[in-house]
Amino acid sequence: MALIQLSVISYQLSVISYQLSVISYQLSDVSFQFNDYCLLIKVSSMVSP
């Protein structure tokens, strides 16, 4: 019985770690897009007189 509970807990932990990695990937994607946006603003402000 304890073995089954341990396997269930380890499964839940692996699911949580997977969700965390997905969240961190989405966050890095958002920050990358944000940096791209800031760069675009800088370039356009340089170009316009």
Model confidence, pTM = 0.60
Domain extents for the chain?
Answer: 1-49
The stretches of 1-49 forming alpha helices (DSSP H) are: 2-47
- Buried-exposed string 35-44: b where 16+ CB fall within 10 A, e elsewhere: eeeeeeeeee
In this structure, what token pair is assigned to residue 31? 């920050």
Model confidence over 3-49: pLDDT tens digits? 999 999 999 999 999 999 999 999 999 999 999 999 999 988 888 76
